[in-house]
């Protein structure tokens, strides 16, 4: 579905992404983990079209993407969900307006029905379409952001830390929603997170990134069992298991 | 303002049943916040009164503002002539009422010219960035570098005196700060996620500018333009005072004050009355602008 070959991104003198190769097949969830500043969001931004200057090649659904300009069809194929649900919705548009914008841009008919269907799918009451974002909680806003991404019926959902701005209890809700949506609609996900637990919960394969390159790509089972090759991956995994008293302290 | 309890409850509930309901709710909340500020409310009242007087000038004025009667020249305020008469025997009250039209005409015309220019230049510069930004902002800088009244004077002198030329001259001096303001606001929204989201959905540049950026910049620009009204009125009065604005016999507050200057000691009302009118209206626009800032600016309150 998505193929990235030898991707390089440079901001000024800062070489952020140094030769990334990845292939995501249809229906797969591909996770990207790493600490802040390792370039994982930049990789996602390059695929999405947010980052406009990169070298290498990216193709989605067998069509090569160019760095500068994309066609409406290419944009429609993949939609992005942002980290901060407070910043990703226009503060002066009602939910209904936010959901109808993408339909208007792409000239899709039956807007009313599609908006109601989109709200149903993410588990929000239909009357929410008349509300403004400031009348919604963080979790509800993130559901709206997901609905907005899905309303164009994309094949690929690009998730940029979709839960890290939310409360822990809401995080699980959103993750399960994403999991259900993927099963129902056969979506392909690329998920970026610094949280190993979140990535492992959702992803089939997980790439660990450090200093702009992949140090290891491991299947989910290996991530859970700890059967990992690279010391940095092991370190991240250890860190995500939380605090455990060592034997010495226990004594 | 009396509202029936049922209507009030409908307006205050957040459980909207239609898009119109949501808008009515927003408008009602804004109105509640605005009407709880007595100064702003006073400002609005004066501005509305000014607009009414200007619209109904033929009925509000008692005498013909152009009718001269030398036998009644320079009479002090009385029951017949509330604000006295001028050196040509014209009724000052009637001229003041008709002058409200001129004043409002200039203020509105300047605002209508300046608003769109400021929006287009500021939003384009801020959103596109790069060399477009550099060129547009340097042009703005050049206009900012001129002292505004002197520039307006020069334009009025070059184009010839008259209201339309005064409007053009004032508009030329007032748009740069508006463009700057819009650019600064645009820069803060340009990288925000909801604009990027719209870009990734395929929204065109004009769509992003007019649907996303402009509505968000609008509150601060409306506030700015309302506050500007006062300085527009003052500049127009200043140009009128110097003989470069409205031409006699057209009633204009600045020109009226200027003509009365020769008789200041004998007939104080000739200068004082239009002067007080300018003061009250400028003050009202400033208070209204402050009140609007409280309800429109997202940085104040929720």
Domain locations in chain A as residue ranges: 2-20+31-219
d(C-alpha A69, C-alpha B288), whole Å: 46
Mean pLDDT of A148-172: 89
pLDDT tens string A65-123: 887 778 888 888 889 999 888 889 998 888 999 999 999 999 888 898 999 999 998 98
The pLDDT of residue B299 is above 70: no
Please report how many Cα atoms fall inside a 13 Å half-sphere around the Cα of residue B12, on the Cβ side.
Answer: 9
pLDDT tens string B201-221: 888 888 998 888 888 888 888
pLDDT class of B35 with cuts at 50, 70, 90? confident
Chain B positions touching A142 (Cβ under 8 A) are none
Average pLDDT, chain B: 86
CATH code: domain A2-20+31-219 is 3.40.50.300
Residue owning tokens 């500007």: B228
The pLDDT of residue A63 is above 60: yes
B12-26, B235-249, B277-291: which is most confident: B277-291
Chain A positions touching B212 (Cβ under 8 A) are 90
Please report how many Cα atoms fall inside a 13 Å half-sphere around the Cα of residue B221, on the Cβ side.
Answer: 29
d(C-alpha B204, C-alpha A135), whole Å: 29
CB contact under 8 A, B216 and A48: no
- Domain locations in chain B as residue ranges: 55-190+218-296
Nearest CA in chain B to A76: B201
Q: What is the DSSP string of chain B?
A: ----HHHHHHHH-S--SSHHHHHHHHHHHHHHHHHT-HHHHHHHHHHHHHHHHHHTHHHH-SS-TT---GGGTTPPS-SSSTT-B-TT--BHHHHHHHHHHHHHHHHHHHHHHHHHHHHHHHHHHHHH-HHHHHHHHHHHHHHHHS-HHHHHHHHHHHH-SSHHHHHHHHHHHHHHHHHHHHHHHHHHHHTSHHHHHHHHHT--HHHIIIIIIHHHHHHHHHHHHHHHHHHHHHHHHHHHHTTSSSPTTS--HHHHHHHHGGGTTT-THHHHHHHHHHHHHHHHHHHHHHHHHHHH-TTS--
d(C-alpha A246, C-alpha A20), whole Å: 37
The minimal CB distance from B202 to the residues A96, A106, A145 is found for: A106
d(C-alpha B272, C-alpha A21), whole Å: 80
pLDDT class of B4 with cuts at 50, 70, 90? confident
Lowest mean pLDDT among A6-10, A155-159, A228-232: A228-232
- pLDDT for res B117: 93
- pLDDT for res A247: 60
Beta bridge partners of A205: A30, A219
pLDDT class of B6 with cuts at 50, 70, 90? confident
pLDDT class of B302 with cuts at 50, 70, 90? very low
CB contact under 8 A, A82 and B18: no
pLDDT tens string A125-140: 988 888 888 888 889 9
Provide the percentage of residues in chain A whose pLDDT is more than 70: 96
Average pLDDT, chain A: 87
CATH code: domain B55-190+218-296 is 1.10.3720.10
Is A42 or B157 the better-scoring residue by pLDDT? A42
Lowest mean pLDDT among A24-38, A178-192, B231-245: B231-245
The minimal CB distance from A75 to the residues B18, B194, B202 is found for: B202
SS (H, E, C) B87-112: CCCCEHHHHHHHHHHHHHHHHHHHHH
Nearest CA in chain B to A83: B193
């Amino acid at each position: 579905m998505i193929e990235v070959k030898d991707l390089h991104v440079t901001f000024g003198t800062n070489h952020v992404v140094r030769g990334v190769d990845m292939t995501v097949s249809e229906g797969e969830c591909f996770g990207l983990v790493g600490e802040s500043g390792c370039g994982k969001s930049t990789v996602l931004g390059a695929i999405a079209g947010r980052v406009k200057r990169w070298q290498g090649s990216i193709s989605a659904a067998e069509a090569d993407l160019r760095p500068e300009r994309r066609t409406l069809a290419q944009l429609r194929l993949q939609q992005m969900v942002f980290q901060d649900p407070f910043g990703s919705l226009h503060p002066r548009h009602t939910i209904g307006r936010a959901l109808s914008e993408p339909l208007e841009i792409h000239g899709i008919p039956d807007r009313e029905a599609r908006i109601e269907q989109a709200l149903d799918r993410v588990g929000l009451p239909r009357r929410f379409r008349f509300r403004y974002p400031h009348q919604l909680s963080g979790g509800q806003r993130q559901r709206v952001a997901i609905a907005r991404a899905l309303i164009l019926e994309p094949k690929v959902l690009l998730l940029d830390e979709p839960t890290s701005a939310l409360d822990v209890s809401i995080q699980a809700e959103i993750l399960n929603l994403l999991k259900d949506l993927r099963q129902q609609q056969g979506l392909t996900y690329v998920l970026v997170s610094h949280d190993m637990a979140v990535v492992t919960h959702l992803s089939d394969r997980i790439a660990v990134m450090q200093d702009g390159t992949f140090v290891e790509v491991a299947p989910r089972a290996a991530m859970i069992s700890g059967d990992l090759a690279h010391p940095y991956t092991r370190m991240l995994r250890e860190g995500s298991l939380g605090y455990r008293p060592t034997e010495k302290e226990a004594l | 303002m009396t509202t029936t309890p049922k209507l009030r409850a409908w307006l205050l509930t957040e459980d909207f049943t239609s898009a119109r309901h949501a808008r009515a709710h927003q408008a009602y909340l804004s109105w509640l916040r605005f009407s709880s500020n007595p100064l702003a409310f006073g400002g609005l009242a004066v501005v509305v009164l000014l607009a009414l007087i200007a619209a109904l000038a033929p009925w509000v004025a008692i005498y013909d503002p152009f009718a001269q009667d030398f036998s009644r020249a320079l009479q002090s305020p009385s029951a017949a002539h509330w604000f006295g008469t001028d050196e040509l025997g014209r009724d000052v009250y009637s001229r003041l009422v008709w002058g409200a039209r001129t004043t409002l005409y200039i203020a509105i015309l300047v605002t209508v010219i300046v608003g769109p220019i400021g929006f287009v230049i500021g939003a384009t510069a801020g959103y596109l960035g790069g060399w477009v930004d550099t060129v547009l902002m340097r042009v703005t800088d050049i206009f900012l570098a001129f002292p505004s009244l002197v520039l307006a004077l020069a334009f009025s002198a070059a184009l010839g005196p008259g209201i339309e030329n005064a409007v053009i001259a004032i508009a030329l001096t007032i748009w740069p700060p508006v463009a700057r303001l819009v650019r600064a606001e645009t820069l803060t929204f340009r990288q925000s996620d909801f604009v990027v989201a719209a870009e990734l959905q395929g929204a065109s540049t004009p769509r992003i500018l007019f649907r996303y950026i402009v509505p968000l910049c609008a509150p601060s620009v409306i506030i700015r333009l309302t506050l500007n009204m006062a300085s527009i009125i003052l500049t127009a009065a200043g140009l009128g005072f110097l003989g470069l604005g409205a031409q006699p016999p057209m009633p204009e507050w600045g020109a009226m004050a200027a003509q009365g200057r020769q008789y200041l000691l004998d007939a104080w009302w000739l200068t004082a009355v239009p002067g007080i009118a300018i003061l009250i209206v400028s003050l009202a626009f400033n208070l209204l602008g402050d009140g609007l800032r409280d309800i429109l600016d997202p940085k104040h309150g929720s």
